[in-house]
A and B are shown apart, each in its own frame.
Chain A
Amino acid sequence: MTSATAPATRLSASRLTLGYADRPIVTDLDLQVPNGKVTVIVGANACGKSTLLRGLARLLKPQSGAVLLDGEVIHRQPTKHVARILGLLPQNPIAPEGVTVVDLVGRGRHPHHGAFQRWTSVDDEAVAEALELTDTLGLADRVVDELSGGQRQRVWIAMALAQGTDLLLLDEPTTYLDVAHQVEMLDLLADLNARRGTTIVMVLHDLNLSARYADHLVALRDGAVVAEGTPRQVVTEDVVRTVFGLDNRVIDDPVSHTPLVVPVSRHLRQAQPPTQELP
């Protein structure tokens, strides 16, 4: 797709209200996911990040408003057609018992198979590439149940990659990963975005990594957008205090020159006068 004719957004939400039963969680939310960019959603636990992501991925029917994919209401498009454009990694995916890594990753190819057309060498290649990218080729014939949490998480990401979609939604893709693998996974996603132009929307908890990897940062609180824009616009002491209720300082990240949040913790304040006596 040439940038001259590409629309600014393929996926957007307009006046979107999402919830479970009668309880609305996300209310009247407007969001335009910038095309070909990395968007990161941050916010406190239970503020509705996963709910929003599920809504964007047509997993949750809006109570009002709509999600648009390529200008059309996503819920009205054939679900398999959507699955070839938009992939999703849920927060807590479930691996069926006994399934091997290649088998699981291979299931990401499902949307590309027609009613009669089955597995081909194209699928082999796609799975191989996804495994290589996530450093899981060596686990190919292992059973997913028996992997470590971090290995399993990389296998799930491999499955999402094997789906080969233009848009990729990931709910906390770095949970269970050690710090090196976290950085590596985010590098991989940034790579994917840079080289293939894959539009990425992800929920992250680490504000500093979010600020480093996001082109577009969305801060949620109680199901509403509190701040939106570049990391520099969004990651300020005020916003962090509003969103997380956390006393903090924001300094310059010496490596990436993006904002770096340093929490001010209660424990530290108490300990500050070094001469203070213990009770």
Chain B
Amino acid sequence: MTALLTSARTRPVGAPAPVDAADVVRRARRAPRRRHRLVVGGLGAALFVAFAARVLLGDYTVTIPDFFRILTGTDIPGASYIVLESKLPRAVLALLTGVAFGVAGGLFQTTLRNPLASPDIIGVNLGASAVAVVAIALWGWQGLSVSIAAIIGAITVALVVRLVAGPHGGHRLILVGIGAAAAMQSVIQYVFTRVDEYDAQLVLRWLTGSVNGVAWPTIRLLALVLLVLLPLTWWLGRSLQISELGDDTAAGLGVPGARSELLLLLGVVLCAVAVAAAGPIAFVSFLAGPIARALNGGRTTLLGSALAGAVIVVAADYLGSYLIPDTNLPVGVVTGAIGAPFLLWLLARGRTGRRAA
């Protein structure tokens, strides 16, 4: 019964493949790769432009030669201070937090297979923020210990949401997560009613996020942590394209489901350290993942998400500073204003999970 019924359309097993079949494969594999390179190149260029604009332009313009002179140590009265203590740290912090939020968004949305299942929607960021606020305002913590408090907060909220919602990324996770986010928000608000000086700027930072007025040591700490976390994410994320095939197929290919859990945990920690430095900048993860994906023909790209996140934060901070004269909007207000309509659109479209099979 075997081999006899082979029709003209299929080739018997073991017969040599014509040479051109492998060529077809090679050619077909090339197109998505080229597209990905274009996406990464394009987002990289956009980030460069946004970063340069943030550092050089605005209400105090710095020329490029002056900028490099300042960087190499020449003291230009006025300009040096503004660049080194205001514009540059803001831009660098915006870039770093954007990368962290972007990667976390890509990890969450891909692993949970749901664009709404982003850490900023399901309360991870606000969880980090709430515990950080408690640590700072009530316990007087500073520096690294605040980051650690934020990480503990983020992981706790993620675990609780996970336990209540069950292991899948469907509607339940989103609803429970939104509930958790609201609860965390009220914790933050409550803490601010308890502290003596009710500083509106500070409240805004911990509720919506801001890259304003952060000192270099905090930025350096974030950079160092990312220097460890991002290569680790890249290393573990190589199997993301297997994990995204679903638990059964992935396990069949030798990638255990525990790997996805680990990637989610990394996403949580990335968010937490970014929140500890700049607050829960709204909707960055939520926007970066889908934008990078859409540019990349619907396919997952962590590098794309990272760059998209950075572009969003750097550009939003620039817009927030100079869009409305004499008003310095925190970056989170701007990203919130961009993200909210997108959230509504996604909800209205009513397709939170992706098509099966």
Binding site for B on A (CB under 8 A): 54, 57-59, 79-84, 86-90, 92-103, 106-108, 110-111, 121, 124-125, 127-129, 131-135, 137, 140-141, 143, 145, 149, 152, 163, 183-184, 187-188, 190-196, 212-213, 256
A-B contact pairs, 28 of them (CB 8 A): A57-B252, A79-B251, A79-B254, A79-B255, A81-B254, A83-B254, A88-B248, A88-B249, A93-B249, A96-B241, A96-B245, A96-B299, A98-B298, A100-B31, A103-B32, A107-B245, A124-B26, A127-B22, A131-B24, A131-B25, A137-B24, A140-B25, A149-B357, A184-B10, A188-B13, A190-B3, A191-B2, A195-B3
CB-based nearest B residue for A50: B248
Q: Which residues of chain B are within 8 angstroms of A152 by Cβ–Cβ distance?
A: 357
Interface mask (B1-38 → A, CB under 8 Å = 1, otherwise 0): 11101110111111001000110111111011000000
Q: Which residues of chain B are within 8 angstroms of A98 by Cβ–Cβ distance?
A: 293, 296-299
Given A187-B6, A196-B14, 5 extra CB contacts under 8 A: A90-B246, A94-B113, A131-B21, A132-B17, A187-B7
Q: Which residues of chain A are within 8 angstroms of B6 by Cβ–Cβ distance?
A: 187-188, 191
From B17, B28, B253, B355, A145 is in contact (CB under 8 Å) with: B355
Q: Which residues of chain A are within 8 angstroms of B248 by Cβ–Cβ distance?
A: 54, 59, 88, 90, 93
Main secondary structure of the interface of B (DSSP, over half): loop
- The answer to whether A137 and B356 touch (CB under 8 A), given A90-B246, A90-B252, A191-B13, is no
Q: Which residues of chain B are within 8 angstroms of A97 by Cβ–Cβ distance?
A: 293, 298-299, 354-355
Is A129's CB under 8 angstroms from B12's CB? no
Among B1, B14, B110, B300, which residue has the most Cβ atoms of chain A within 10 A? B1
Q: Which residues of chain A are within 8 angstroms of B32 by Cβ–Cβ distance?
A: 100, 103
Q: Which residues of chain B are within 8 angstroms of A111 by Cβ–Cβ distance?
A: 253-254
A100 vs B252: C-alpha distance when bound (angstroms): 20
Q: Which residues of chain A are within 8 angstroms of B251 by Cβ–Cβ distance?
A: 57-59, 79
From A59, A94, A140, A145, B245 is in contact (CB under 8 Å) with: A94
A71 vs B201: C-alpha distance when bound (angstroms): 66
Q: Which residues of chain A are within 8 angstroms of B88 by Cβ–Cβ distance?
A: none
Chain A CB within 8 A of B256 CB: yes
Q: Which residues of chain A are within 8 angstroms of B246 by Cβ–Cβ distance?
A: 90, 93-94
- The answer to whether A101 and B242 touch (CB under 8 A), given A128-B22, A163-B253, is no
Chain A CB within 8 A of B244 CB: yes
Q: Which residues of chain B are within 8 angstroms of A149 by Cβ–Cβ distance?
A: 357
CB-based nearest B residue for A180: B7
Is B28's CB under 8 angstroms from A102's CB? yes
Q: Which residues of chain B are within 8 angstroms of A101 by Cβ–Cβ distance?
A: 28
Min Cβ gap A20→B in Å is 12
Chain A CB within 8 A of B239 CB: yes
- The answer to whether A106 and B356 touch (CB under 8 A), given A124-B22, A140-B24, A184-B9, is no
Q: Which residues of chain B are within 8 angstroms of A135 by Cβ–Cβ distance?
A: 9-10
Which 7 A-B pairs have CB atoms at the shortest separation, nearest pair first?
A: A98-B298, A83-B254, A88-B252, A80-B254, A194-B2, A128-B21, A140-B28
A189 vs B336: C-alpha distance when bound (angstroms): 54
Q: Which residues of chain A are within 8 angstroms of B2 by Cβ–Cβ distance?
A: 187, 190-191, 193-195
From B1, B113, B241, B357, A107 is in contact (CB under 8 Å) with: B241
CB-based nearest A residue for B18: A132
Min Cβ gap B226→A in Å is 23
A179 vs B329: C-alpha distance when bound (angstroms): 64
From A86, A125, A256, B1 is in contact (CB under 8 Å) with: A256
Q: Which residues of chain B are within 8 angstroms of A92 by Cβ–Cβ distance?
A: 356-357
Q: Which residues of chain B are within 8 angstroms of A191 by Cβ–Cβ distance?
A: 2-3, 6, 12-13
Q: Which residues of chain B are within 8 angstroms of A96 by Cβ–Cβ distance?
A: 110, 113, 241, 244-245, 299-300, 354
A94 vs B354: C-alpha distance when bound (angstroms): 9
Is A110's CB under 8 angstroms from B9's CB? no
Is A94's CB under 8 angstroms from B21's CB? no
- The answer to whether A102 and B356 touch (CB under 8 A), given A83-B252, A110-B255, A128-B21, is no
Is B21's CB under 8 angstroms from A132's CB? yes
A107 vs B300: C-alpha distance when bound (angstroms): 14
Min Cβ gap B301→A in Å is 10
A86 vs B254: C-alpha distance when bound (angstroms): 10
A108 vs B300: C-alpha distance when bound (angstroms): 18
A58 vs B256: C-alpha distance when bound (angstroms): 10
